Amino acid sequence: MMLKNNDAPIVSVKDLTVRFVNGDSEVRAVNGVSFDLSRGEVMTVIGESGSGKSVMLKTLLGLLPRHARSGGSITVDGVDIQALDQDAMSALRGRKISMIFQEPSTAFDPVYTIGEQIVETILRHEDKGRQAAMERARELLDLVSIPSAARRLKNFPHELSGGMRQRAMIALALACRPSVLLADEPTTALDATVQIQLLLLLRQLQRDLGMALIFVTHDMGVAAEISDRVAVMYAGRLVETGTAEEVMLAPGHPYTSGLLASTVHAGMRGKPLRTIAGSPPDLRALPPGCAFAPRCPRAIASCREGVPAQIQVAPGHDAACIRVGELDTMQARG
Ligand SMILES: Nc1ncnc2c1ncn2[C@@H]1O[C@H](COP(=O)(O)OP(=O)(O)OP(=O)(O)O)[C@@H](O)[C@H]1O
Ligand SMILES: [Mg+2]
């Protein structure tokens, strides 16, 4: 039996890169991501569309397509996942680390009932009889507050409303009590009230089950609401990390400031939304140096020379910008 060190991070990612090779071109989706996630910690990853959030999460689950090339290292509960074969990886998936996908169709097969799919997942990973697995599936639907759970188990995915289907997806992800849950924008397709209910539910479950959670969103407000720590992703890199409070009140990276300025605040209703000028970089031809430099209002010549290292803004708060420290008055809503 292996000894477990409970202080060791549950997920440790070092210098992760992911590229999609297609003929002569190469999409550089993840470009040197490193972070440690503690047991029970909630980290939110925030960034514009195409910044590599989903690819990063899928890499943690070993779900990259064949034409992808990855580098760096990932350990989950001390296990180097790149060293695992397909069978060992699928044993880990669901049991240790599990994901709520951005597209509900990825999780549920339309031709089986919700109950059948949750039961199959339990039977695949746990030494349980079908009856016991069925009982557990019902408990799981109760856990995610789906009313009339027993009846809902007999429904096909399309028979549930969007919000209920998302809850069922959470139930499926929790079926084997994972230590780490990855939630990829689980609420974006839903209306605002349902979104809030789901966020509260996720946070409650995370606490009750003591899971670590990586939560992906476009929305700073959501990030602040749910997380211990925020990681801002741009062009496949984490350009800023820190507590939600630190990052929102005193952003160190101009991209984070731009994101904050483009978030709709309650007091801004009716006013035009400010967005960051320019468009995200082409991941097939990243500029040398800082990938944000072409859009950055504060860029100077040396920003275009080398990829910036992480610089401490405050203890536990880093930003990959060579001008950190020089610009101490960057205000989110200036
Ligand atoms: N299977 C794939 N083959 C080739 N390129 C891919 C593949 N999956 C993703 N990409 C590319 O990788 C980049 C990052 O995509 P990803 O889906 O991670 O973005 P994202 O940050 O999750 O965006 P969104 O917020 O829209 O979900 C994109 O340029 C995308 O086109
Ligand atoms: Mg995505």
Q: Is the pLDDT of residue 136 over 70?
A: yes
Q: Is the pLDDT of residue 225 over 90?
A: no
For the beta carbon of residue 130, count every other beta carbon within 10 angstroms: 11
Q: Is the pLDDT of residue 247 over 90?
A: yes
- Please report which confidence band the pLDDT of residue 1 belongs to, taking 50, 70 and 90 as the band edges: very low
Which among 239, 249, 271 has a CA at the least distance from the CA of 334? 249
- Ligand 1 center–CA 126 separation, angstroms: 33
Which among 121, 47, 128, 46 has a CA at the least distance from the CA of 90? 121
pLDDT of residue 293: 96
- Residue 313 φ then ψ, to 5°: -90, -45
Range 107-119 average pLDDT: 93
Per the model's pLDDT, the better-predicted residue between 237 and 102 turns out to be: 237
HEC secondary structure over the chain: CCCCCCCCCCEEEEEEEEEEEECCEEEEEEEEEEEEECCCCEEEEECCCCCCHHHHHHHHCCCCCCCEEEEEEEEECCEEHHHCCHHHHHHHECCCEEEECCCHHHHCCCCCCHHHHHHHHHHHHCCCCHHHHHHHHHHHHHHCCCCCHHHHCCCCHHHCCHHHHHHHHHHHHHCCCCCEEEEECCCCCCCHHHHHHHHHHHHHHHHHHCCEEEEEECCHHHHHHHCCEEEEEECCEEEEEEEHHHHHHCCCCHHHHHHHHCCCCHHHCCCCCCCCCCCCCCCCCCCCCCCCHHHCCCCCHHHHCCCCCCEEEECCEEECCCCCCCCCCCCCCC
- Sign of the Cα pseudo-torsion (213, 180, 195, 140, in order): negative
Which among 8, 5, 45 has a CA at the least distance from the CA of 228? 45
Question: Which of the listed residues 53, 70, 100, 222 should we mutate to test ligand 1's pocket, taking the one with most ligand atoms within 8 A of CB?
Answer: 53
Range 72-93 average pLDDT: 93
102, two tokens: 């951005």
pLDDT, tens only, 138-171: 999 999 999 999 999 999 999 998 888 989 999 9
Ligand minimally distant from the alpha carbon of residue 285: 1
Ligand minimally distant from the alpha carbon of residue 184: 2
Q: Is the pLDDT of residue 333 over 50?
A: no
- Residue 49 Cβ contacting ligand 1 at under 6 Å: yes
pLDDT of residue 334: 36
- Ligand 2 center–CA 130 separation, angstroms: 35
- Residue 52 Cβ contacting ligand 1 at under 6 Å: yes
How far apart, in whole angstroms, are the C-alpha atoms of residue 107 and residue 99? 9
| Rounded percentage of the chain residues whose pLDDT exceeds 70 | 92
Q: Is the pLDDT of residue 266 over 60?
A: no
How far apart, in whole angstroms, are the C-alpha atoms of residue 218 and residue 46? 5
- Please report which confidence band the pLDDT of residue 5 belongs to, taking 50, 70 and 90 as the band edges: low
How far apart, in whole angstroms, are the C-alpha atoms of residue 90 and residue 93? 5
pLDDT, tens only, 308-330: 999 999 999 999 999 997 755 44
- Ligand 1 center–CA 7 separation, angstroms: 33
For the beta carbon of residue 71, count every other beta carbon within 10 angstroms: 12
Q: How close are the terminal C-alpha atoms of the chain, in Å?
A: 56
- Biggest CA-to-CA distance, the chain: 67
- Residue 186 Cβ contacting ligand 1 at under 6 Å: no
Q: Is the pLDDT of residue 205 over 80?
A: yes
For the beta carbon of residue 279, count every other beta carbon within 10 angstroms: 10
Per the model's pLDDT, the better-predicted residue between 98 and 265 turns out to be: 98
Distance of CA 297 to the CA centre of its chain: 28
- Residue 27 Cβ contacting ligand 1 at under 6 Å: yes
pLDDT of residue 14: 97
Q: How many CA atoms lie within 13 A of 78 on its CB side?
A: 7
Question: Which of the listed residues 46, 54, 233, 234 should we mutate to test ligand 1's pocket, taking the one with most ligand atoms within 8 A of CB?
Answer: 54
How far apart, in whole angstroms, are the C-alpha atoms of residue 57 and residue 77? 16
- Please report which confidence band the pLDDT of residue 94 belongs to, taking 50, 70 and 90 as the band edges: confident
